[in-house]
Amino acid sequence: MKPEPVSLMGGKSVHCINEMQMAEARRLLEEDSPSSAKIKSRLTSIEAELSRNERAALAFMIIQRLKESSPF
């Protein structure tokens, strides 16, 4: 029997993002800077083009690649 796919919609997670990281990400998004403009533009496009599940998959893959590229 084929196992049920794991939902990306919430629930238990193997990754933990702390509140300080989330606050820093929000600050970077909301400040008036070239980085903010780039992030807002990409976020708008992604939200318009991908389903919620596709966005969740993309977020997990970005986190994984960041972890793999970390010098620590």
Amino acid identity, position 37: A
Decide if 65 is inside a domain.
Answer: yes
Count structural domains, the chain: 1
**Full residue range of the structural domain in which residue 61 is found:** 23-69
pTM for this one?
0.69
Is residue 29 situated within a structural domain?
yes
Long-range contacts of range 56-62, CB-CB < 8 Å, 24 or more positions apart? 56/8, 56/9, 57/8, 60/8, 60/15
Read off the pLDDT of residues 60-70 as tens digits, 9 standing for 90 and up.
899 889 888 87
pLDDT tens-digit readout, 9-39: 555 555 667 788 888 889 999 999 999 999 9
Q: 34 lies in a domain?
A: yes
